[in-house]
Amino acid sequence: MIRHRSYAVPLTAVLLALATGVALGAGPLADTGSSASTGPRVVTRPPAPGYADAFASSVAPRLYAHGLSRKPVALVTLPGADPATVRALTSQVKAAGGQVTATYAIQSQLVDASQKSLVDTLGIQLAQQVKGRTDPKATTYPRIGQLVAVAVANRGTAAAPAGDDAAAVRQSLVAAKLLEVPAGAPQTAPLVLVVLGSAVDQPIAEGVLAGLAARSRGVVAVAPSTDRTLAGLAADGVTKQVTTVDGSETGAGRVAAVLGLVRAWNTRGGAFGASGADGPVPLG
């Protein structure tokens, strides 16, 4: 019995020690003794809100290298275009040395498939009035796109006064509520920047953009990343004449759009942006 008690005492002591160790390990002294936890503590910080856009805007002037100096731009918006995006693009054109001669708003009726008869009839009448300014073989939406180009654009190298043809087309399109034109008879411009907005039927978008490209020096169309229209333009060959850039809701996308304008002065077409088939940025 004596031998049995001599083993019981050390066993009780071990159990008490283990219990004490568990208690300490679960308590406030848990992090104080292990060599495995003595490494440097890493602190991570999430990027500041808006950093990517701020970075893109900061480096943009160096990328532009005044590439739009003395190169006027007409800005055309489609229904649903984000006003903040339009303002940001206008600022970026200025940062590249260019000037937006005017901002024109295509109205919902012009791109509404249910209003095709109106668009077609007016387009035929205007084409007869400004003979030689549109392709006689053009169908409804390429024709109206060419007429919008008569109103806002030219094929030269500088801004030009709106002549009689441009004035007549503007007056008719405004009266039919197809186009909104700012006051003051703004000059036409060689480059056209088109800002897409709400979803538009693919054939309508293709026709209008192809028509604009046919009667201007260069056209760049920009849309949000979620827009499906630009992908359709590439598939149907419109990007051989029109430069497209997606990602207009981001600073990088807007910078890419303005770089597209710089490139469009001498080189037409291409699909760029976050999902562009020709690369993220239109350079060269």
User: Tens-of-pLDDT digits for all 284 residues of the chain?
Assistant: 444 444 344 433 333 343 334 343 444 434 444 445 555 666 566 666 677 777 776 777 788 889 999 999 999 999 999 999 999 999 999 999 999 999 999 999 999 999 999 999 999 999 999 999 999 999 999 999 999 999 999 999 999 999 999 999 999 999 999 999 999 999 999 999 999 999 899 999 999 999 999 999 999 999 999 888 888 888 888 999 999 999 999 999 999 999 999 999 999 999 998 888 888 898 86
In the numeric block, the tokens 């051989």 are attached to 240
Q: Tally Cβ neighbours within 10 Å of residue 114.
A: 7
In this prediction, residue 49 carries a pLDDT of 60
Q: Tally Cβ neighbours within 10 Å of residue 278.
A: 15
Q: Cα 160–161–166 angle (5° rounding)?
A: 105
Q: Which domains does the chain have, with CATH numbers?
A: 64-273 (3.40.50)
In this prediction, residue 222 carries a pLDDT of 97
In this prediction, residue 34 carries a pLDDT of 46
In this prediction, residue 234 carries a pLDDT of 81
157 backbone dihedrals φ, ψ, rounded to 5°? -120, 10
Which secondary-structure segment (H or E) carries 180? strand 179-180
- Grouping H, G, I as helix, E, B as strand and the rest as coil, residue 179 is strand
In this prediction, residue 61 carries a pLDDT of 75
Q: Kindly tell me the sign of the dihedral angle through the C-alpha atoms of 166, 96, 274, 252.
A: negative
In this prediction, residue 48 carries a pLDDT of 60
